[in-house]
Structure 1
Amino acid sequence: MKRGRLVFWAGTAIALVLVLFILAFEGLEDFDFSEYRTRPLSFSFKDMSVAGTLHLPEADTSAVVLLVHGDGPADRYSGGGYMPMISALLDSGIAVYSWDKPGIGQSSGDWLSFSMTDRAELATAALDAVKAEPELSRSATGFIGLSQGGWVVPILAREPAQADFFVIIGGAVNWLRQGAYLTRRRLEREGASAKDIDAALQANTAGNKRLLSKGYSYQSYLSDTRSGTPMSEARFGFVLKNALADASQDLAQVTAPVLTLHGSHDLNVDPDYNSDRYRQILQHRNDANRSLVIADGTHALLRASLFNQQTEGDMPAWSKLAFAVLGRKAYAPGALDALCGWINDQASAGSRKSASADRSN
């Protein structure tokens, strides 16, 4: 009897190890682009050289998307965080181009010197470089703006649109409102009382008013900072350039197709408010427009049960390991299907329009 139980549990353990090994192997494949056509692609922007990588599907290309980074010193893969999404896009026949932010990786310059308009101009230069590639000259083109990229994409999408379709993931319409939401959620997770949270938000509002007042300098900011680690002078300049960012007016000029995606458990951006706001502005501007909130999704559309942190630095080691093991399965169910399916729908619609135009000519 004991021997039978021992054999049973040994067999179960071996089966579990095999399952985990298979899952790990499948997940790691999403970080390996060797089966795809991959090549470096650099371009010039003002006095900077910007380096990136173009990934092409193994078979036919239905469309090409350019990734517009969120905040922070991101390289072309955002430290590996983009890789499973890129793999899913490639498997759906969608080419992907992403670049190192200025001053990061192999790119020159300083990303902290950029306004959102500067970032849009940089993205337009990247699109010109992609369109110059012979096999992509007639492909449908689009931008995917992630987080802070959600203020860049509406600039690119307003008339005359710089591409055929646009996606915003985890975007916010208003910069200051998003900052207040992020602060509230951070303090809630730290266990702060409602009274302390309200006091902190009032202090933030007062600080923003000082920041945006005429003649407010970095030295003034340092004098006003009583606790915590102050921003660097470069970061202060970046925030000062962009603190009044609000995408409402740009979105109101958009007629191209737009998809917005939010995770229902987003700790950085209020998902319900911003999804509704995008929908209100865009709902009658194009029949293809969609604003979706993905159940159990985080700010980056990952599974909230495993990956719901406000920053990458908050991720424990086990969570990083889980991301590497799961690959694209780390995403909330339906997130990548919604993204890839909508992009291919726009590429197909564009192909039908082109064919109709060719016949009429």
Structure 2
Amino acid sequence: MALLAGSGIVAVVLWQHSYDMDERRVTIRRDGHTLHAVLTAPRGGGGKPRPLVVVIHGDGPVDATHEDGYKPLWEAYARAGYATLSWSKPGVGGAPGDWLGQSMADRAAEAVAAIGWARSQEGVDPDRIGLWGASQAGWVLPKIVERTPVDFVIAVAPAVNWLRQGRHHLLAELRKRGASPATVDEEIARSDLTRRLLARGASFEEYTRAMGGPGEMTAGRWGFITRNHTADVTADLPALRGVPLLLMLPGQDVHVDTAETGTVYRRELAAGGGLTVRHYPDAAHTLVRAELGESGPALTLTALLAPRSLFAKDALGDQERFLRGLRETERPVRGD
């Protein structure tokens, strides 16, 4: 009986992780970049050129599929008739390089190289290539658009200002933990000290001495923060004016102040006519249902047994509808 039950669970897992799309591993070599990527496509179609979604990751050592977490999204895109391209960050999963050595401009250059490669691939419509990006990708998306034409953008909880995002995250986590006023004051003081160190370009050794030890910080991470802590998307956002843009804002985001994001994007982009804003009151940062948390048994079990159920209501459907709407709308082809 136990064997039968175990076989049943395995069958459910295999079925739930069988996605209705074609998928292949590719290596992108272009403009000095070597990227380990995954290219998906709708099944059937006889090799006819498909519009493409290019994935720009958020923070952290993310592999091409985000440990398969992206696949429900890609399946929704395939239903809408879209291919998807995503690659592992440098240094992740055997890919060459080190993502911690990158600036946001470096990440944009990497993406531009990948898009250039994609435009030359059979089965990809070179005039129908757009971007999907989450969180930290908010600083990368407009830099890509400044360098190469794109057909659309899907932005999930994009950050506006690095330092303000960090303070929002700190305070949200302290509230979540029920921290005492004394603890809040102490943590804010440590955060302010970190900001002063960043402002004067302190080395990792200086940071370690000032903070009484490295804590969870590493030399690589400190270098990454030092390179990128002045990031602010406001000046770059005009590059997105007129580009069809779906802005997806979770209501329970402890990482990004989505109220600020909504205000800034509306102020800078509403006049261009391309902005669509969707709110998800019960979603956490990655559009996962907030009730599942960002880690723990409930999230792990759902990811294993029902990965499409990870996402907040309408989060997958809204993206699919947005993409379908683009396919039904003929727009002038942009020149390179």
Provide TM-score, normalisation by structure 2.
Answer: 0.88
Tell me the SS of whatever aligns to 2:246.
strand
Partner of 2:200: 213
- Cα drift, residue 294 of structure 1: 1.2
Give the whole-Å Cα distance in 1 for the aligned partners of 2:166 and 2:331: 42
CA contact (8 A) 2:51 2:126 kept: no
- Residue of structure 2 aligned with 1:319, choices 277, 299, 305: 299
Q: CA RMSD in A?
A: 2.3
Correspondence 1:220-259 to 2 at 5 A? 220-226=206-212, 229-255=215-241, 256-259=243-246
Q: How much does 1:352 deviate?
A: 4.7
State the alpha-carbon separation in 1 of the partners of residues 134 and 161 from structure 2. 15
2:153 to 166, 172, 180: 166
Following TM superposition, by how much is the alpha carbon of 1:38 offset from its aligned partner in structure 2, in angstroms? 2.1
Change (3 A) 1:282 1:196: same
1:131 aligns with 2:116: no
- Structure 1 SS opposite 2:178: coil
Residue 50 of structure 1 aligns with an amino acid whose one-letter code is L
Q: What is residue 9 of structure 1 aligned with on the other side?
A: none
Cα pair distance change 1:135/1:48, threshold 3 Å: closer
Q: Is the 8 A contact 2:38 2:65 kept in 1?
A: no
Partner of 1:57: 42
Alignment check: 8 A CA contact 2:127 2:151 kept: no
Per-residue CA deviations over 1:151-179 (Å, capped at 9, x if unaligned) read 11121124x55311112112110011111
Corresponding residue of 2:280: 294
Range that drifts further, 195-204 or 175-184: 195-204
4+ long deviations beyond 3 Å: 27-30, 45-48, 59-62, 351-354
Q: TM-score, normalised to structure 1's length?
A: 0.82
Counterparts of 1:241-280 in structure 2, within 5 Å, are: 241-255=227-241, 256-280=243-267
Cross-structure match for 1:5: none
Give the conservation status (yes or no) of the 8 Å contact 2:252–2:282: yes
Residue 105 of structure 1: SS of its match in structure 2?
coil
Quote the residue 1:41 is aligned against.
26
Percentage identity across paired residues of the two chains:
28
How has the CA–CA distance of structure 1 residues 223 and 116 changed in structure 2, closer, same or farther, with 3 Å as cutoff?
A: same
Q: Is the 8 A contact 1:272 1:293 kept in 2?
A: no
Asked whether 1:81 is paired with 2:66, we answer no
Unaligned stretches of 5+ residues in structure 1: 1-16, 310-314
Q: Which amino acid aligns with 2:313?
A: P
- Whether the aligned pair in 1 keeps the contact of 2:79 and 2:320 (CA below 8 Å) is no
Does the Cα contact within 8 Å between 1:124 and 1:162 map onto a contact in 2?
Answer: no
The separation in 2 between residues aligned to 1:178 and 1:218, in whole angstroms, is 22
Once the two structures are superposed, what CA deviation does each residue of 1:110-130 show, in whole Å capped at 9, x if it has no partner? 111100000000011111111
Inter-partner Cα distance in structure 2 for 1:101 and 1:301: 21
Deviation of the 1:30 alpha carbon = 5.2
Residue 45 to residue 208, structure 1, CA distance change in 2 (3 Å):
farther
* Among 317, 325, 328, the residue aligned to 1:348: 328
Note the residue ranges of structure 2 that are not aligned, 5 or more in a row: none
Specify the SS of the correspondent of 2:327.
Answer: helix
* C-alpha distance in 1 between matches for 2:43 and 2:229: 42
CA contact (8 A) 1:64 1:139 kept: no
Residues 52, 125 of structure 2: 8 Å contact kept: no
DSSP-derived class of the 1:248 partner:
coil
| Matched-pair contact (CA < 8 Å) for 2:77–2:323 | no
Q: CA deviation at 1:258?
A: 1.9
Q: 1:271 to 1:259 in 2, by over 3 A?
A: same
Report deviation, 1:227.
5.9
Secondary structure at the aligned position of 2:113 is classed as helix
The residue number in structure 1 matching 2:142 is: 154
Contact 1:276 1:291 (C-alpha < 8 Å) held by counterparts: no
Structure of larger gyration radius: 1
Q: Does 1:333 align with 2:313?
A: yes
**Match of residue 167 from structure 2:** 180
Alignment match, 1:145: 133
For the Cα contact (< 8 Å) 2:157–2:249, is it kept in 1? yes
- Larger % of helix: which? 1
Total equivalences in the alignment: 323
